[in-house]
Amino acid sequence: MAALVAGLLVAGVVAARTNPAVLGSSLFALLRSLELAVLAVVTALPPAVLLGVWLANFAGDGWLPRAARRAFDAASTVPGVAAGLAGWLLLSDGVGDRDGTFAMTLVLASLALPQLATAAERALRSVPRELVEASFAAGASHTATLTGVSFRWASRPFAAAAAVAFGRSLAECAPLLCLAPHPGSAEPLTVALWRAPDGPGAAVTAAVLAALAVAVTAPSRRARPEVRP
C-alpha cells in the first residue's frame, strides 16, 4: 500500500516535470474538488453535530434513535452510485443549477452526514463522566454542560472525523458522474481522471488525489494516537 501511494506520487512528479503544462488543468480540477468538498462538509456539519448531540445526550434508547443509528451504519456502505442516482432523480432538474454545484453539494453532503453524525455521537460519548458530573455538581444545566464541557473535549476527535469526511467528499466520483451536466464544464479531480485516463495530465491528477488522501488522514493520526489495547 505504501508502495502504491509512493508510486502514484512519484509518477505524478515525473509527469509534471516532463510536461509542466498539465499542471494548469489539474489545478483547476483541484479547485473544483475543494470547492465541492468544502461546500458538502459545511452543509453537512451543522445537522450532523446536532444529530450527534441528540443521539449522545437526549435520544435515549427508543425506536427512533435505534433506527437512526442503524440507518447511519447502513449508510456507510451505500455505494456512491446509489446516492448519485437518487440525486439525479430528485435534484437534476434544479432551477439555475447549470454546472450541477447545488446537486453535487447536496449529494456529497448526504453521504458525509451519517459519518459525521456517528463521529459526533462517539466523540460526545468519549467525554469522561467525571467532567460531566463535575459540571452538573457546579450547577450547570445539561445544555450548558454540553456547550461548555463536552464540545471542548470532543472537538479534536470530531475535527479528525470531519477531515475524513472531507477526504471522502474529495474522493467521490460515481455520484458526481451521475450529476455532471456535460464534459468540459468545471470538473473535479476524480471526474477529470475518469474522463481522460490516457490524457497527459492523468498521472498528475492521480498523484494529487493520492497526496490529498495522505493529507486528509493526517489529522486523524494526530487526534487518535494508537494506544495498544
Partner 1 sequence: MTPLDAADRRTAAALHALAVLILGGVAVAAAAVLRRGLVGWSEGVPTGFAAAAGETLRAAGLATLLGGLPGVLVAVHLGELSDGAWRRRAIGVLQSAAALPGVVFGWTALQVLPALGRPAVGPLALGAVLGIMIVPAVALRALVALRAAPDGLREASAALGASPWHTAWRVVVPACRRDLGAAVGVGFARAAGETVAVQLLAARLGGPRTLGARILDGLPRAPADSPWNHSLFAMLIVLLIFTTGVALLTSPSRSSRASAPSPSAR
Within 6-65, which residues bind partner 1 (CB under 8 A)? 7-8, 47, 50-51, 53-61, 64-65
Stretch of 20-28, 35-43, 95-103, 144-152 contacting partner 1, by CB under 8 A: 144-152
Which of 105, 168, 201, 204: binder of partner 1 (CB under 8 A)?
A: 168
CB-nearer residue toward partner 1: 20 or 60: 60
For residues 184 and 225, give the distance between their C-alpha atoms in angstroms, rounded to a whole number: 43
Of the candidates 89, 98, 152, 200, which one interacts with partner 1 according to CB under 8 A? 89
CA quadruple 206, 207, 208, 213: dihedral, nearest 10: 90
Span 105-124, contacts to partner 1 by CB under 8 A: 110, 113, 124
Q: Closest distance between partner 1 and the C-beta of residue 228, in Å?
A: 6
For 23, 44, 119, 176, 210, the CA distances from 64, given in Å and listed in that order, are 49, 20, 18, 31, 39
Q: Which of 39, 172, 187, 204 touches partner 1 (CB under 8 A)? A: 172
Among 73, 98, 152, 185, binds partner 1 (CB under 8 A): 73
CB of 169 to partner 1, least distance (A): 11
- Taking CB atoms within 8 Å and a gap of at least 24, the contacts of 89-96 are 91/179, 92/179
The gap between the terminal CA atoms of the chain, to the nearest Å, is 25
CB 204 within 8 A of CB 6: no
User: Are the C-beta atoms of residues 217 and 163 closer than 8 Å to each other?
Assistant: yes
100 touches partner 1 by CB under 8 A: no
Q: Count other C-beta atoms under 10 Å from residue 43's C-beta.
A: 17
- Asked if residue 102 binds partner 1 (CB under 8 A), the reply is no
| Cβ 147 to partner 1 shortest distance, Å | 10
